[in-house]
Amino acid sequence: MKKVFPLTSERHKPARLGDQIKSEVRKYLKRERSKKLPEDTDFWDFSCRSGKTAADAAPLHEKEIGKALDMALGEEWPEIYLEIIAKAT
């Protein structure tokens, strides 16, 4: 998943937008983990990046996605770029 999430909305408060984004990320991770693993692999690993744009996105662990989103909401970014790539390990 490579996606830019808006952090401002006329209909929802920023905290609610954060919850919606976190929910979408959790659903994506669950869906990717439930896929059948290729032979000779043990588990799914995720390569994650986050930032204001794709160009300045920094790598992070999948457990830190929520913290990165909370930080972006706290700093009142207009949007956040999230990249989560699944790879069999």
pLDDT in tens, 35-66: 999 999 999 999 999 999 999 999 999 999 99
Q: Are 62 and 84 in contact (CB under 8 A)?
A: yes
- pTM of the predicted protein model: 0.90
> Which pair of tokens denotes residue 56?
């300045």
pLDDT tens per residue, range 74-84: 999 999 999 99
Under 8 Å between Cβ of 44 and 87:
yes
* Pick from 2, 6, 1: nearest CA to 80: 6
- Residue 35, helix vs strand vs coil: coil
Tokens coding 23: 């929910």
